[in-house]
Structure 1
Amino acid sequence: METAPVPSTIAPEAGPEDFQRFHEYRWDLDVEFLKGVVLACGGLNALERTGSKAEIILHSRIFYFARLAGVSMPYVGYKRWLRDNRQFKPVDWNLLDLLCDKKDAQLSRRAPPAGSAGSISISRDSPEAQREKDAWFHELYDGGLFDPPAAVQEQLSAAVPSWQAAAPKGDLYVDHRGSAGVEKGKDEGGAPYPERFAQIIEAIQSGKPVEGIQEIPNNIARNPDTTPFGKMAAPKKPWERSSAEAKSAAPDYTTIDKSFPDAEPEH
């Protein structure tokens, strides 16, 4: 399935038509999203029918939709939209049931080893699961509308002095292009380079040799007095054989060149 590229800037806020589009998206058919939800919940074995897992799914949907559609879905705004449009039922618990059923099907095919964390989820029809579901729905429809990021932002805003809040806002970015001149080491309105540094830059850009830098050739000239064999005989070790034995056993070096070959001409 082809997805939209990740936006490079903050996604715009969702409009009225985006809430229904976000709600009616086929989350149960998006394999990439479901895999991400399983990881966000702590893995397949950690899935369970609880309100906290349903909240993780809701936040995962908001995050994924911003990447998919380039629209930032407000957490509180979506909950308020659900309260105003009761004909649209929340899908988060249904997705949780779907994933828990998948987990139970896998565990039933292979018995988990003793002491492992994997265990069959509580049944969707059990009283415990029903209590968790009712509590989550009650909080969704009748609980307080609390947006943690917004609340933190309000606290930060309250701590900012009035004079600072009224100050003009600007990006913390300095354009260095004005001082990175390429002609004579300077640009209009920019600070010039040091003269020596500007000369080096100009020489490199024009392909000229840089003053003070020695050119090293590819082939190094050899000293004609240097040969592959030394002029002095190496002293014998105490455990070495006599000179007669060593001479008779010595290999024949007559085929070895007595001097280095001439250097190849430089192309």
Structure 2
Amino acid sequence: MDTFAACNKTSSESLASLSAETTSKITTGQGTQSAPIQPSTIELYERFRSYPFHADRQFGKGLAIILGHPDVPASEAEISRNDDLILQAKCFYFSRKEKMIHPINPVAYKAWLEPDTTTKSSLEIIDTSEQPDVSVTGIPPLARNLDQKPPPACQEPAYPSSFTHIVELITTGQPIPGIQQIPDTVLTGHDTSSTKPKRRKPWEKQEAF
């Protein structure tokens, strides 16, 4: 815990020294210079990204103190690192050097560095949602209606799948599925004699007179 606290204290003191050195350059003989107009965010980020931190000896010395080797300036590999500590030191130093009222936010800058991934994913979502359904819209309404099968009114009997199967069932004497079998015999016990009088023919009525 003592080592971690000492490291944090050293980093804070190093950032403070960077602030003091850059502030001393801003101050002139009788007073401080007026703060310049803040540039746009994109222009500011472009200037920050193109700033030659490798060639700035003052930044290299201050970064070396933060990294724990004040006697040796920070190497090019250390300055090129993308971790949060190096980025925070760069943002702090650049903001002081450019006399910015509001320093650069490292989190916002990192989000700006990778806009292509977010933009691409957003465009893919938009393209997918706006893409018409070719399988539906590309077919005329009449063709779509013809393609749709009407719901069955009732359960249809399961007929044999082929004519060969039907022939086989007939030749072997097997019942054909779906064909109702009607018996060829008269039901006994249900035959009754007619009680109505027999109708006469026209000539039979004339003979009666």
Establish whether TM, by shorter chain, passes 0.5.
no
Structure with the bigger percentage of helix: 2
Higher gyration radius (CA): 2
